[in-house]
Structure 1
Amino acid sequence: MKKRKIEIMDTTLRDGEQTSGVSFSSPEKLTIAKLLLEELHVDRIEIASARVSEGEFQAVKNITSWASEHNYINKVEVLTFVDGGRSIDWMKEAGAKVQNLLTKGSLNHLTHQLKKTPEQHFSEIKEVIELAQKEGIATNVYLEDWSNGMRNSQEYVFQFLDFLVTQPVVRILLPDTLGVLTHTETYEYFSKITAKYPNTHFDFHAHNDYDLSVANVMEAIKAGASGLHLTVNGMGERAGNAPLASVVAVINDFFKDEIEIQVKETALYSVSKLIEAFSGFGVPANKPVVGENVFTQTAGIHADGDNKNNLYFNDLMPERFGRKRKYALGKTSGKANIEKNLQELGLELNDEDLKKVTQRIIELGDKKEQVTKEDLPYIISDVLNSNLIQEKITIDSYVLTHSKGLQPSTTVSVLIDGERFEEHAQGDGQFDAFLNALGKLYKKKKMVLPKLVDYAVRIPPGSTSDALCETIITWQNKDKRFITRGLDSDQTVSAIKATQRMLNI
């Protein structure tokens, strides 16, 4: 049986940017566009709305210029309006070649927002499509509020579709604008339309207000959708849009015998992380496929099962997405979890010592303390009173200065295998100056410091300013990431303690 090809249209740069508080800069938009088309291999991208701002215009111009050079220009789409051709003029200047024309998909919107008859609306749409054709611009048409249109004014929707299929339209885009559909409605409405217009390309655009977007996408696929609109990390207004990573995994696992898509799974996580950084829109740790914790086994019984014929694995293997399975350390850790982490560190303990270490980790978990793989050698050393951790590098002393009007600076003295080294540097803050001094010192020793990729500070909830402060730093050393923590009443000192632990790891 020949597989049906479904187009994936990513609208992170248009609909996704409508996430509250998110605005991508022009260089960020260009970088994201390149990643979506060249790394993820999505079929199309929707990058902006016409006539929004001068900044948006320049961003679109940059993307269309690059896309034209690399033969992607017909994959780049812009949201336009029924405005007598002003959007078409804007697109022409911006160099875009595909418009997604926003029209009214429900009688309620048409009557109360535009205050026009269907015939007036269709006539104005026809005029815009003709203008686009003259300028060599292809047209897709959005039926805004289509889902409510199907619920409350189906006669109007089919009257509209009867008109559209007579026009030179490439695709008709059916959005659940307010995220109100159930999966049964999605299948029913979409099936009615694809049955009546079997030769027309229909896209489905889901929103996630009831957390039903992925389920609705599945039903739209079953009902014959030819394309899907998705966003990275499920970004979008209100509760967001259908998330790209989840839908790709669903299609590849549940529709693999009948549906074909070209999105590259192994790039989903890295693109998710980059867009998380650009947008400042944090991905929940339990977000399917791309969340930090979704490939982490916490319960000891699960780690034990993984050792015994992978009893707790499913088809969502982390390697598919360029990730690795982890085994959390905490109060529910069993010996199997700890053994998995020890294996990664190249350490081995006898049964009696393993019991002692397990008990200590459970105690720390009961106190709500986070335990990482990198903490294990220190815990073992402490519990077994051994010399497992020999700190060959010690931050012996330091001077931190911070004065108004002057750049912060640090002088640091470090002992490496008993030999003292001293260095001075400035930075954007005290800890940045400290790291710069350390970097200069390491450079002299022809050594390279790992790169700091994440820095988090916390105090216990409800504590006062004199409470102990925990600094958690994530480091990148070539292709490996690891975390160290420091604890002190002073934030900078706790960061320095975390850094000393990193140096010895």
Structure 2
Amino acid sequence: MDTTLRDGEQTSGVSFSASEKLTLAKLLLDELQVDRIEVASARVSDGELEAVQKITNWAASQNYLDRIEVLTFVDRGVSLEWMQKAGAKVQNLLTKGSLNHLTHQLKQTPEQHFAAIEENVVQAQELGFTTNVYLEDWSNGMRNSKEYVFQFLDFLTTQPVKRILLPDTLGVLTHTETHEYIAEIIVRYPNSHFDFHGHNDYDLSVANVMEALKAGCHGLHLTVNGMGERAGNAPLASVVAVINDFHPDIKIGVKETALYKVSKLVSAFTGFGIPANKPIVGDNVFTQTAGIHADGDSKKNLYFNDLLPERFGRKRKYALGKTSGKANIQKNLQELGLTLNDEEIKKVTQRIIELGDKKERVTKEDLPYIISDVLDTVAKQQRVFVKSYVLTHAKGLKPSTAVAVEIDGELHEAHAHGDGQYDAFMNALRSIYKNKKKAFPELTDYAVRIPPGSNSDALCETIITWEHEGKEFITRGLDSDQTVSAIKATEKMLNII
């Protein structure tokens, strides 16, 4: 059962609109094909009522109504009236699963609580509703008041209840406790259906789910992206992968290929980003960064595991950075349909390492630009070097530049102002070439662009068109800084002339 729309909405700052809830309900049942969805809490708001009405109207048309569940309360039938208005047919009744909660929150005896529950269940049955029962704080109940939990379960097994839902409400269980408690209950009540509802406060929710399954649990409550109160709930994507890979005896209908799509949509609706390293759905989890791993992937898939990205509608990527190495670059070149020789790959690798040292992030889309820049070398030996420069831009003052240029081994320095930093740089160069009585080309066009499709901030390409002695030519510069990329393009021009 997916409870993103109910328990997941308890994530601080998250509230789905009625249309968003309907969209996600359709995706969860039709696209992802989960078995059941818990969509709301009764009595919360008019907006919640509208959302459930939209969902139940759609579900009724698809014959899904028995797969739509609503959290209700022991409130003398008020929640049941709300469910009637909402058009829902399955209630998940919230009750007290620990003596501590019963005593201090409700201030009731077990017998009083059970009598109120029985009244609700009978009324629900008369209305044609199906009842499942949550034992809130069940995990602490098993730790500290096991006799009460078994007294409660003894009572519930006499009632017309379809499922008993066992939540680790505060996320306190270890995997060994989860197995021990659920196994004990399954043995004691072999004819009842039990669901496990795990929270992730100690980052143990997936491990606890595995142990719940081993213990014989019949159902699981999960959320997309592990959304939920505090540290969230057991994450749907991870649990689906775990079941498929480590519990081959358990068959589930959830479509792995839809997990990523639904995950991204939930992230978009909530505004909560998915951590890049989140298993299955994170941006980086199918990205090899180390060059040795990319090399191993080319040699009998040495660094693959069973979590192949294609299972989840995704592709393996090879990051470009200072640890990449030639193998990562080769993988990206193959995707782009480009071929370079060993020497060229070596030059490109060196440039990517330089960018990585500057903490710049390089993407596959940046590669053609890097290749163009690295391989755009003049036939003659470089004779002109822009050795250093200082660019200044201050409020109320014209931008200025101090430049040192080495021409045929001789150092020349100049200072100039301009309408911008690059204009000042060009004016300083012109003064140097004027003093040397050398012709200086005219800049006829200046264009700046970033690689199409790139989502990095690593690269900016400046393309400058020059006219010199009746001929037109173009030079390109590449850098993370626009002005620096223009200066690099200009240095290439100086060598050409």
* TM norm. shorter chain > 0.5: yes
Question: Aligned match of 1:82 in 74, 81, 101?
Answer: 74
1:103 matched to 2:75: no
1:269 matched to 2:269: no
1:251 matched to 2:236: no
**1-side partners of 2:106 and 2:452: how far apart?**
53
Q: Give 1:281 shift.
A: 1.2
Q: 1:139 to 1:248 in 2, by over 3 A?
A: same
Question: Aligned match of 1:182 in 168, 174, 192?
Answer: 174
Question: Aligned match of 2:48 in 45, 56, 59?
Answer: 56
Partner of 2:455: 483
**2-side partners of 1:344 and 1:321: how far apart?**
20
Question: Aligned match of 2:127 in 111, 135, 147?
Answer: 135
1:301 matched to 2:273: no
Q: Which residues of structure 2 form unaligned runs of 5+?
A: 379-448, 462-478, 483-497
Question: Aligned match of 2:201 in 209, 213, 216?
Answer: 209
**1-side partners of 2:124 and 2:353: how far apart?**
66
Partner of 1:163: 155
Moved more, 119-128 or 372-381: 372-381
Q: C-alpha root-mean-square deviation of aligned residues, in Å? A: 1.9
Question: Aligned match of 2:22 in 13, 27, 30?
Answer: 30
> Do the aligned partners of 1:474 and 1:484 also contact (CA within 8 Å) in 2?
no
Question: Aligned match of 1:152 in 136, 144, 153?
Answer: 144
> Do the aligned partners of 1:473 and 1:484 also contact (CA within 8 Å) in 2?
no
**Alignment deviations for residues 25-62 of structure 1 (CA, whole Å, 9 cap, x no partner):** 10000000000000000000000000000000000000
Question: Aligned match of 2:358 in 345, 362, 367?
Answer: 367
One-letter amino acid of the counterpart of residue 483, structure 1: N
**1-side partners of 2:126 and 2:181: how far apart?**
34
Q: Secondary structure at the match of 1:12?
A: coil
**2-side partners of 1:126 and 1:49: how far apart?**
20
Q: Secondary structure at the match of 1:310?
A: coil
Question: Aligned match of 2:302 in 301, 311, 321?
Answer: 311
> Do the aligned partners of 1:266 and 1:322 also contact (CA within 8 Å) in 2?
yes
1:12 matched to 2:24: no
Partner of 1:197: 189
**Alignment deviations for residues 379-413 of structure 1 (CA, whole Å, 9 cap, x no partner):** 111111169xxxxxxxxxxxxxxxxxxxxxxxxxx
Q: Give 1:190 shift.
A: 0.3
**1-side partners of 2:292 and 2:12: how far apart?**
41
**Alignment deviations for residues 40-92 of structure 1 (CA, whole Å, 9 cap, x no partner):** 00000000000000000000000001000110000000000000000000001
TM-score for the superposition, normalised by structure 2: 0.77
Question: Aligned match of 2:85 in 69, 93, 115?
Answer: 93
**1-side partners of 2:16 and 2:86: how far apart?**
18
Partner of 1:406: none
Partner of 1:347: 338
**1-side partners of 2:194 and 2:451: how far apart?**
47
1:377 matched to 2:349: no
**2-side partners of 1:186 and 1:273: how far apart?**
31
**Alignment deviations for residues 122-170 of structure 1 (CA, whole Å, 9 cap, x no partner):** 0000000011011111000000000000000000000000000000000
One-letter amino acid of the counterpart of residue 116, structure 1: Q
One-letter amino acid of the counterpart of residue 284, structure 1: P
Q: Give 1:220 shift.
A: 0.3
Partner of 2:58: 66
* Superposition map of 1:370-409 within 5 A: 370-385=361-376
Q: Give 1:483 shift.
A: 3.4
Question: Aligned match of 1:333 in 324, 335, 357?
Answer: 324
**2-side partners of 1:386 and 1:17: how far apart?**
57
Partner of 2:471: none
> Do the aligned partners of 2:139 and 2:168 also contact (CA within 8 Å) in 1?
yes
**1-side partners of 2:364 and 2:321: how far apart?**
11
**2-side partners of 1:47 and 1:89: how far apart?**
17
> Do the aligned partners of 1:472 and 1:484 also contact (CA within 8 Å) in 2?
no
* Superposition map of 1:447-466 within 5 A: none
**1-side partners of 2:176 and 2:223: how far apart?**
23
**1-side partners of 2:72 and 2:132: how far apart?**
10
One-letter amino acid of the counterpart of residue 365, structure 2: E
Q: Secondary structure at the match of 1:260?
A: coil
**Alignment deviations for residues 450-503 of structure 1 (CA, whole Å, 9 cap, x no partner):** xxxxxxxxxxxxxxxxxxxxx99995xxxxxx5365659xxxxx9xx9xxxxxx
Partner of 2:314: 323
**1-side partners of 2:278 and 2:193: how far apart?**
31
Question: Aligned match of 1:126 in 118, 133, 156?
Answer: 118
TM-score for the superposition, normalised by structure 1: 0.76
Partner of 1:432: none
Q: Secondary structure at the match of 1:174?
A: strand
> Do the aligned partners of 2:450 and 2:460 also contact (CA within 8 Å) in 1?
no
**2-side partners of 1:280 and 1:359: how far apart?**
38
**1-side partners of 2:94 and 2:452: how far apart?**
44
**2-side partners of 1:246 and 1:211: how far apart?**
12
**1-side partners of 2:85 and 2:15: how far apart?**
23
One-letter amino acid of the counterpart of residue 162, structure 2: V
One-letter amino acid of the counterpart of residue 358, structure 2: K
Q: Give 1:352 shift.
A: 0.8
Please say which structure displays the higher CA radius of gyration. Answer: 2
**2-side partners of 1:198 and 1:288: how far apart?**
35
**Alignment deviations for residues 107-131 of structure 1 (CA, whole Å, 9 cap, x no partner):** 0000000000000000000000011
Name segments (4+ residues, structure 1) moved above 3 Å: 471-475, 482-488
Q: Secondary structure at the match of 1:348?
A: coil
Partner of 1:281: 272
**1-side partners of 2:35 and 2:366: how far apart?**
44
